[in-house]
Structure 1
C-alpha cells in the first residue's frame, strides 16, 4: 500500500477543503491516488470546494482582531463583491481574525489549523463557507503587530482596506488616527530615512532632465539647491512623516507625532485583492462568438 504522508493529506485538504480525517481516509481508500481521493470526496459531498479552487478569488474582506498591543489583520478572498458583502461571509472573516489572534498563528498554514469558537478548524469552516456561498474562498494573508506600544487598527467601512500602526509613546487615539491616515493616503515609506537611495537617485535624474537649459546653466551650488528642494518635496509625498496629517492638515504627520512625544515604529496596510490579476469577463464578446457557431 502507498504511504500516506502528511504532505499528501495537506495537499488534498488544500485542494478539496475537506477535513483532515476525511482526506486521510479517502487517500487510504484510494491507495494514495490523490485524484481518485478528490473525486471520492466530491461524490460524498465533502469537497464541493474542489471544482471552485481554481477560480480567481480577488474580492473579499479584511478584518482585524486586537488585544492591547497585539493586533492582527487577515485578508480572506471571495470571487465576487456580492459574496464579500454577504453577512455569512463577513461573520466568517471576523471569526478567522479572532482565531488568528487567539492562536498567534504566524502564517496562513498555521491559521488554517487554528480553532474557531465553535471548535471546528478555520479550514473546515472555510470549506463549509464554500459549500454554502458557492464561491472559491481563500485565506490569503495576515499581518501582525506584537508589542508593548500603542497600536492603532483601522478597517475601512467597505472592508477593503486594513491598517495597523505601531506607535511608541503618544496615545491609542493618536495611533488610531494615524492608521486612518495610512488607509487614506497610502504612504509607501514611513520616514525619509526609509526611502531607498536608488529611488532618490532616479528622481534626481528625472528632475534634472525636466529642467530648462537656462536653469541647468546656473552655478552648481544653486542647481543643487533647486534639485534638493524638488527631491525633498517628492520624499515628503511618499513618506508618512512628510504628508499633511488627514485629521489636521495644518500639521504634517511628523509634527503631530512629535508634538505628542511619540514615534511611529512602523505600519502595515492590506488592500483586498492587491497583486491578484482579475479576470475581466466580456459577456458581449462571448454572446457574439456563440451566435457565430
Structure 2
C-alpha cells in the first residue's frame, strides 16, 4: 500500500515568535458547487499519520481543524483503481519524463505540446505502442486523468470542457522571470495550483511533481521500505485527486506527504525549503513547517 503522510502545520511561521509580522488569515475554501463530487460516508482506506500540532491555526481562518480540504473525510473514489489513460498537456522536460514512467507502469499515454503532434514523433516512437501524440484538446478528451505541465503563463490555454469531472495533476511553478509578475502570487493571496483550479472549476486539481527535477522522476525511485526512498508532496481540495497522486508516486517509487488543500500548496512552491531538494518523509514535513508564505 502506498506510504502517505498527511501533513498539518505545527504553527504559522509568521506567528511563532513575538515581534514577527502579523498573521495572515487562512483563506476560506470555496463553497462546493453543484458539480463537485459529494462526500461519501465510508471510512478511510488507510490510517493517516499526522505531525503533532502546537497551534491549530485553521480555526482562525474559519476552517475545521482536520482535515482542511473538501472531500478529505470521504473514502477514496473507486475510479482511481481503473484509470488507464493519462493525458499529458505539455511535453517538455517534466511531461516527457512523466510519460516515460507512466508507460513503464502500464498506463496508456496521449501527449501533446503547443507545436502540434507531428513534432512529437521521436518521443512517441521512444515511448512505444502505449503512447500516442495529439493536440491538447485530444489529450484532455482521451484522459482518465490529465497532467498539466505547461509554463504558468500559458495555464489559461488549458482546455476546460474536455477536463470536466476529471482529476488534473498540476506540475506548474511560478517563475516571474518567464511568466511575468502575478500580483496575487507575489502577495501570497493565491497559489499556482489554486489558479489552475479556478480555471478548471469542474475538474479536481492536485499538485504533483513540481519540486523534483525532471531527470530524477525516472532515476530516483525506490521500492517501498527502502531507506533511500524519496518523498514528494501533493495537495488538493479533493481526496480522490490527492489519492491518485499518492498512487502514482508509489508506482514511480516515491513516498507521499499530503499537505492538505490547495490553499496550503505554497509550502512546496519555488524557493521554499522543500523545493528541489531530495527529502525523506520526516525531512519534507520539517521543510514544509518552516516555509515562509512569501519570498
- TM bucket, shorter chain: under 0.3
- For the pair shown, the structure with the greater C-alpha radius of gyration is 1
Normalised by the length of structure 2, the TM-score is: 0.22
Of Structure 1 and Structure 2, which has the larger fraction of its residues in strand?
1
Of structures 1 and 2, the one scoring higher in RCO (CA 8 A, sep 6+) is: 2
